[in-house]
Amino acid sequence: MKWYDIFSNFYDSSLERLYFSSRKRAAELLDLKDHLTVLDIACGTGANFKHILGSSKNIFLYGTDYSEGMLEKSQSQIERNGWNNTFLFQADAREINYSTIEIHIKKKIKFDRIICVLGLSVIPEWELVLENLIEMLEENGKIIIVDVFAEKRDFNTWLVEKIAKADLNRKIWQTLQTKTSNFHHEYLPVKESKVGGKLFVAVGTKTQI
């Protein structure tokens, strides 16, 4: 059993209040419209779903994570809310790319939007994963990352890293900036002491294939 299978039992009750408004902001920046296809990578309990689907009933949403426990919580949300166009698959993010996507969702597709909230600080080989995500975007598609970077490390940084199995030293937005256009980055109003560093949102557009 993975740590996140256990964490899934108290993940939302301990963290959702902290991250709710940041998820909302991320969904705003995604610039969602009807009929878009969205991938939520390392989707966890599906806490982003209501923000992504809130603005439109005709969005096709794929959520993926490697933890069965987290995906079970996502599945419960989908059933509770009757979201018909929302699909889940279990996979290690390192194994998801344009060549393998068909194995996971039985379709060879690219995505209009990709979102990853608090995933790339946890997933090993995150640079490769980010590159593969950008490859899976349609031209003019947007990718949005919400994550934490610890500019000054302290006890809270250490604690969050232990609990979340994260590495808060990754300058994820910088890599995103070099690989996308129309790049935008902003810090989100969450106390550093609560999340172990600065919570940021970064968004970029894929402009050349």
Ligand X SMILES: C[S@@+](CC[C@H](N)C(=O)[O-])C[C@H]1O[C@@H](n2cnc3c(N)ncnc32)[C@H](O)[C@@H]1O
> Interface residues with ligand X (CB under 6 A)?
4, 42-44, 47-48, 65-67, 70, 92-94, 117-119, 122-123, 164
Contact 63, 88 (CB under 8 A): yes
- Alpha-helical (H) ranges within the chain are 3-7, 11-29, 49-54, 68-81, 101-105, 126-135, 155-164, 172-179, 192-195
**Looking at this protein, which amino acid is placed at residue 100?**
T
Cβ 41 to ligand X shortest distance, Å: 7
Question: Considering beta carbons, is residue 31 or 72 the nearer one to ligand X?
Answer: 72
Q: Smallest gap, in angstroms, from Cβ of residue 27 to ligand X?
A: 12
Q: What whole-number distance in Å separates Cα of residue 54 and Cα of residue 110? A: 22
Q: Which two tokens stand for residue 52?
A: 């992504």
Nearest distance in Å: CB 176, ligand X: 16
Whose Cβ is closer to ligand X: residue 34's or residue 67's? 67
Cα 123 vs. chain centroid, distance in angstroms?
11
CA distance 204 to 53: 21
> Nearer Cβ to ligand X, position 127 or 139?
127
Q: Which CB, 65 or 112, lies closer to ligand X?
A: 65
Listed residue (71, 90, 87) closest to 37, CA to CA:
87
- Least CB distance to ligand X at residue 139 (A): 26
Which residues pair with residue 148 across a beta bridge?
Answer: 199
Rounded to a whole number of angstroms, the minimum distance from the CB of residue 46 to ligand X is 8
User: Which residue's beta carbon is nearest to the bound ligand X?
Assistant: 44
Element housing 87 (H / E):
strand 86-90
1/209 with CB nearer ligand X: 1
In DSSP terms, 187 is beta-bridged to 200
Report the side by side order of strands in the sheet with 60-65: 86-90, 60-65, 37-41, 111-117, 137-149, 198-205, 181-187
Query: What is the nearest approach in angstroms of ligand X to the Cβ of residue 2?
Result: 7
Closest to ligand X by CB, 3 vs 207, is: 3
